[in-house]
């Protein structure tokens, strides 16, 4: 077992990527994730890899396109407004089926918004970041250690399915230090990148082309169907979530991800003492969403579910789609960088379940 060290979330991302064999980093500074780039700027040149500060987020994501198409592991990192700027590029990457990992250390929006922690890019990440029918895998770590693990896992999933993977944290996860260890990982068996534009090099007859254009509607539809089939496969194989305190009957089930889920756990403990039993479902993959976990709890919760978010009600849509009318769904959210205390959440829940039993 490797030694545990204290590391900032943002720096841990960089180190995790290096461990995963990330060959290139392209990024553009933005609070609260600047340390990712700073870390890579220090480390990558020393090990003969590429750190490049791009002229913008738009350029960065297109550099990712180029490097990913060339067959290397590549990382980019940004925060909310910067991710919006990457939307076109991400759609291209999904369309051309290129593997890469994209970090979003979310800050409050909309617009320039603020720089404090938020989770208000949930819908963007899971539904609509960019045009066209595509999805990207979205991981939501809840600790610095999990950030490390999911960045590494992210590269594997990306290569496995030739898809962009987003790891979505928030300003708190990016800035905080926690103990982490970089374990030896049992990597997956990954397909070879025989599609990459490495140059023919006398090894191939046919040139490789990285492309997302299909001028004939039949061909574009076929391409889309192929993408959809891949997404179904990911939905079948790659859902990750944690269920906490969900054994037996519960009064209510919290849905919370990332940093919020930790605060909710403390609220769960507080409520436990008051005789209120609260389960917690923590989606680790936001897409694919762990719908089954919610279905499973539908019959076991007295007061349904409550989505607790650092946003004004975004994940609640996926909770509702999973629950599909089988139980009531409540909401508690803070936004703009405001972070709730466990007591606040506990109070909200008490108001719903009607105090202690």
Partner 1 sequence: MAHQEIIFAGFGGQGILSMGKFLAYAGLDEGLNVSWFPSYGPEMRGGTSNCSVIIDEDPIGSPLVVDASTVVVMNRPSLDKFESHVVPGGLLIIDSDLVNREPERTDIDIIKIPAQTAAEEVGSKKIANMVLLGALVERTKIVPMEALLHALKAHGKEQFYELNKKALEKGAEYARK
Partner 2 sequence: MAVIFERTKGLLDVPTHYCPGCTHGVIHRLVAESLEELGVLDRATGVAPVGCSVLAYDYFSCDMHEAAHGRAPAVATGIKRAIPDSIVFTYQGDGDLAAIGTAEIVHAAARGERITTIFVNNCIYGMTGGQMAPTTLPGQVTETSPYGRDVNTAGHPIRVAEMISTLDGAVYVERVSVDSVPNILKAKKAIKKAFEIQMQGLGFTLIEVLSTCPTNWGLAPVEALKWLRENMIPYYPLGVKKDATTGEVK
The entry of a copy of itself, partner 1, partner 2, none that residue 123 binds, CB within 5 to 8 Å by partner kind: a copy of itself
Q: Which of 108, 38, 116, 100 is CA-nearest to residue 80?
A: 108
Stretch that binds partner 2, among 102-110, 144-152, 177-185, 203-211 (CB under 8 A): 203-211
Least gap, CB of 90 to ligand TPP (angstroms): 13
* Residue 155 touching partner 2 (CB under 8 A): no
Going by C-beta distance under 8 Å and a sequence separation of 6 or more, which residues neighbour residue 48? none
Tokens of 228: 């959809």
Q: DSSP letters along 262-320, please?
A: HHHHHHHHHHHHTT--EEEEEESEEES--HHHHHHHHTTBSS-EEEEESSSSSHHHHHH
Could you say which of a copy of itself, partner 2, partner 1, none residue 87 binds, taking C-beta under 5 to 8 angstroms by partner kind? a copy of itself
Question: Which residues contact ligand TPP by CB under 6 A?
Answer: 28-30, 57, 81-82, 85
Token output for 86? 């990457």
Q: Which residues bind partner 1 (CB under 8 A)?
A: 4, 6, 31-32, 115-116, 171-172, 175-179, 215, 259, 262-266, 269, 339, 341-342
Local structure of residue 355 (DSSP, 8 states): S
Q: Tell me the residue nearest to ligand TPP as measured from the CB.
A: 30
Burial class (CB in 10 A: 0-12, 13-18, 19+), 225: exposed
The answer to the question of residue 72 lying near partner 2 (CB under 8 A) is yes
Minimum CB separation of residue 244 from a copy of itself in Å reads 26
Nearer residue to partner 1 within complex by CB, 18 or 172: 172
Q: Tell me: cis bond preceding 32? Omega within 30 of 0 counts.
A: yes
43 C-beta neighbours (distance < 10 Å), count: 17
Does 31 participate in binding partner 2 (rule CB under 8 A)? yes
Residues found near partner 2 in the complex (CB under 8 A): 23-24, 26, 28-31, 34, 37-38, 41-42, 45, 50-60, 62-72, 74, 81, 88-89, 92, 96, 111-112, 197-202, 207-213
């Amino acid at each position: 077992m490797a030694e545990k060290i204290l590391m900032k979330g943002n720096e841990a991302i960089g180190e995790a990527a290096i461990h995963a064999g990330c060959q290139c980093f392209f990024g553009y500074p933005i609070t609260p994730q600047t340390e990712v780039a700073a870390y890579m700027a220090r480390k990558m040149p020393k090990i003969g890899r590429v750190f490049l500060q791009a002229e913008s987020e738009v350029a960065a994501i297109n550099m990712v396109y180029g490097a990913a198409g060339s067959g290397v592991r590549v990382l980019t990192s940004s925060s909310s407004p910067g991710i919006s700027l990457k939307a076109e590029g991400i759609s291209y990457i999904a369309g051309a089926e290129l593997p890469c990992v994209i970090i979003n250390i979310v800050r409050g929006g909309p617009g320039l918004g603020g720089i404090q922690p938020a989770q208000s890019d949930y819908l963007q990440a899971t539904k609509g970041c960019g045009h066209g029918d595509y999805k990207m895998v979205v991981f939501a770590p809840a600790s610095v250690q999990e950030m490390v693990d999911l960045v590494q896992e992210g590269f594997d999933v990306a290569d496995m399915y030739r898809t962009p993977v987003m790891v979505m944290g928030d300003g708190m996860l990016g800035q905080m230090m926690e103990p982490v260890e970089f374990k030896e990982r049992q990597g997956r068996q990954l397909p070879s990148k025989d599609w990459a534009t490495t140059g023919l090099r006398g090894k191939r007859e046919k040139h490789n082309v990285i492309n997302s254009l299909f001028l004939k509607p039949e061909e574009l539809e076929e391409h889309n169907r192929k993408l959809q089939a891949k997404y179904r496969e990911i939905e079948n194989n790659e859902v990750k979530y944690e269920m906490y305190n969900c054994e037996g009957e519960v009064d209510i089930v919290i849905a919370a991800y990332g940093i919020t889920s930790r605060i909710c756990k403390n609220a769960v403990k507080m409520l436990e003492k008051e005789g209120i039993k609260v389960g917690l479902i923590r989606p680790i993959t936001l897409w694919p969403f762990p719908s089954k976990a919610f279905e499973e709890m539908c019959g076991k919760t007295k007061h349904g579910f409550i989505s607790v978010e650092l946003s004004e009600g975004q994940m609640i849509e996926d909770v509702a789609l999973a629950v599909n009318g089988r139980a009531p769904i409540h909401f508690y959210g803070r936004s703009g960088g405001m972070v709730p205390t466990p007591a606040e959440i506990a109070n909200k829940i008490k108001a719903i379940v009607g105090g202690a039993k």
